[in-house]
A = this chain, B = another copy of it.
Amino acid sequence: MKRTDSILQSLRQDGHRITKARKALIEALQRTHQPVAALELHARLSKSKVTADKVTVYRELKFLADIGVVHPVHLKDNIQRYELAPESGHKHHLVCTECKTVKDVEMACADLHNLERNIGKKSNFTVRGHSLEFYGLCSRCA
C-alpha cells in the first residue's frame, strides 16, 4: 500500500475525515522530498487543481504533526517547516546556505545515541531527543 493511502486509512480509523484539502496536502507532502513551510505548501497547492486556504494549511500541518504523521523541522531562518515522518526515527538535514535546498542525510542516529548517553551522564540531564542539521554548500553551489 502506498504511503499516502496508509496514512489516510489510519486517519479514517481514528475518526478523522478525508477531505479534498487533507488528501491534497498529504500527497503534496509526499511528493516533496524537502521540509516545507506552510506558505510554501499553500503556494504549491494554489498552482494545482485542489486549493486550500492558507489557514487550512497551517491547521492541517499542526494537526498532522500532533498525530505524528509529519515532523516539524527547524532551520536557521526560524520558519516552521514540516516533512513527512520517516518509517522510523527521524531525519537529519544538509542545508545549502546558497540555494537553500535541503537534502536528507543518510545517517543513523546510532553515533549520536552514544553521545547522548555520555552527555546525559556528565550533565545530569535526561536526553530525550536532539536536533541536528548541517549547513554548507551543495554540489551545485560549491
Please report the C-alpha to C-alpha distance between residue A119 and residue B111 in the assembled complex, in whole angstroms: 13
Please report the C-alpha to C-alpha distance between residue A126 and residue B134 in the assembled complex, in whole angstroms: 10
Whether the pair B122, A142 counts as a contact (CB closer than 8 A) is no
Whether the pair A135, B139 counts as a contact (CB closer than 8 A) is no
Q: Which of A27-35, A41-49, A75-83 sits within the interface?
A: A75-83
Q: How many interface residues does chain A have, given as a range?
A: 35 or more
Name the B residues within 8 Å of A142 (CB-CB): 126
Name the B residues within 8 Å of A6 (CB-CB): none
Does chain B have a CB within 8 A of A67? no
Does chain B have a CB within 8 A of A60? no
Whether the pair A76, B119 counts as a contact (CB closer than 8 A) is no
Please report the C-alpha to C-alpha distance between residue A106 and residue B121 in the assembled complex, in whole angstroms: 11
Whether the pair A131, B129 counts as a contact (CB closer than 8 A) is no
Please report the C-alpha to C-alpha distance between residue A122 and residue B105 in the assembled complex, in whole angstroms: 9
Please report the C-alpha to C-alpha distance between residue A103 and residue B94 in the assembled complex, in whole angstroms: 25
Whether the pair A134, B130 counts as a contact (CB closer than 8 A) is yes
Supposing A122-B106, A123-B105, A133-B131 touch, asked if A78 and B79 sit within 8 A by C-beta, the answer is: yes
- From the candidates B76, B116, B119, B134, name the one contacting A127 in the complex (CB within 8 A): B134
- A interface residues with partner B (beta carbon < 8 Å): 72, 74-76, 78-80, 94, 96-97, 103, 105-107, 111, 115-116, 119-120, 122-139, 142
